[in-house]
């Protein structure tokens, strides 16, 4: 039976229980790969006021979050809880990229379905590690910044590709080596190994964002550098945090010129 991939994506988005969201994500990915899904771009996406999520964690402003110092078991748990929460949101972001934007090539949907599948895998890995520390997802507060940016860029797939993979997810590439070093210092080699898996996959995810950002700029006859600057100014006040993991960002499709530019201005964009 042929199913609409947009209906399957909405089902994954709406699921509140993490295990149900993972199960639906795995099933939808398998159905797409088996050729059992159709793209019906004639039906418009409905508004998504909020994706499905469990009653906990409590969502607070970022400055209200507890410190993530991995020198204690609770500190490591807070750190891993934050990472688990990022991956939970990333599942929703992957499916939202599928559900919301309906006039893209088939390969676009294959890319983002695969990303949603991998984010669900990451969520499970990190949640299992959190449990070894004696805690569950939901035991600590979290913030909603990733989904807020998804809402803010819902008006245009170009803005989404520019700001979520190329900015927010790319920031994860930058901070991964430092977090891994801290975990190794306190003897958490299992947790550090998980970061290696996630970094490997996230390089690919950022690469997907880079590829479709440049594709869209080319399709619309836009200068990619000027467009990126304009979107950063509009949505992030022209600032992007450094320092940057050059090797990972280059592997993910950033150019040497882009990174030289970002590093040369200390992470703050200015007119070229």
Domain edges within the chain: 73-264
What number of H helices and E strands is found in the chain?
Answer: 11, 2
Residue 14 has pLDDT above 60, yes or no: yes
In the block, residue with structure tokens 């990472």: 83
Q: What is the rounded distance in angstroms from the CA atom of residue 29 to the CA atom of residue 207?
A: 20
Query: What percent of the residues of the chain are helix, what percent strand, and what percent coil, each to the nearest 5?
Result: 65, 5, 30
The single residue listed with the structure tokens 């992957």 is 94
Taking Cα atoms as reference points, which of 107, 109, 89 lies closest to residue 6?
Answer: 109
Tell me the average pLDDT of the chain. 92
Q: What is the pLDDT of residue 265?
A: 53
pTM across the whole model: 0.94
Tens-place pLDDT, residues 172-194: 999 999 999 999 999 999 999 99
Task: Express each pLDDT in 59-102 by its tens digit.
Answer: 998 888 877 788 999 999 999 999 999 999 999 999 999 999 99
The CA–CA distances, whole Å, from 38 to 23, 31, 101, 105, 113 equal 20, 10, 15, 13, 13
Q: Measured between alpha carbons, how far is 26 from 157 in angstroms, rounded to an integer? A: 24
Q: pLDDT digit string (tens) for 209-240?
A: 999 999 999 999 999 988 998 998 899 876 78
Provide, rounded to the nearest whole percent, the portion of the chain with pLDDT above 90: 77
Residue matched to tokens 């295990």: 19
Question: Three-state DSSP class for 147?
Answer: helix
Q: What pLDDT, on a 0 to 100 scale, did the predictor assign at position 270?
A: 45
CATH number of the domain located at residue range(s) 73-264 in this protein: 1.20.1260
113-144: per-residue pLDDT in tens?
Answer: 999 999 999 999 999 999 999 999 999 999 99
* pLDDT bracket for residue 260 (50, 70, 90): confident
Confidence band, pLDDT 50/70/90 cuts, at residue 104:
very high
Alpha-carbon separation of residue 84 from 113, 175, 180, 189, 239 (angstroms): 19, 15, 15, 18, 26
């Amino acid at each position: 039976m042929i199913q609409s991939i947009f209906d399957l994506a909405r089902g994954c988005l709406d699921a509140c229980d993490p295990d149900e969201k993972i199960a639906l994500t795995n099933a939808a990915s398998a159905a797409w790969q088996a050729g059992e899904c159709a793209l019906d771009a004639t039906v418009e996406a409905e508004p998504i006021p909020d994706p499905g999520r469990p009653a906990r964690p409590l969502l607070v402003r970022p400055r209200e979050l507890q410190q993530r110092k991995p020198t204690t078991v609770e500190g490591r748990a807070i750190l891993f809880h934050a990472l688990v929460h990022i991956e939970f949101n990333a599942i929703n972001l992957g499916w939202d990229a599928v559900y919301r934007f309906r006039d893209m090539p088939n390969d676009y949907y294959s890319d983002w379905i695969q990303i949603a599948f991998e984010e669900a895998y990451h969520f499970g890995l990190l949640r299992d590690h959190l449990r070894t520390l004696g805690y569950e997802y939901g035991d600590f507060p979290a913030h909603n910044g990733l989904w807020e940016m998804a809402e803010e860029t819902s008006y245009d797939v170009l803005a989404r590709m520019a700001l979520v993979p190329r900015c927010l997810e790319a920031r994860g590439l930058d901070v991964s080596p430092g977090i891994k070093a801290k975990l190794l210092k306190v003897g958490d080699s299992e947790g550090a190994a998980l970061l290696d898996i996630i970094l490997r996959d996230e390089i690919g995810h950022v690469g997907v964002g880079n590829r479709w950002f440049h594709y869209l700029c080319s399709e619309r006859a836009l200068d990619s550098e000027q467009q990126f600057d304009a979107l950063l100014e509009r949505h992030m006040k022209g600032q992007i945090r450094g320092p940057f993991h050059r090797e990972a960002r280059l592997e993910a499709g950033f150019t040497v010129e882009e990174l030289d530019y970002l590093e040369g201005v200390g992470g703050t964009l200015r007119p070229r």
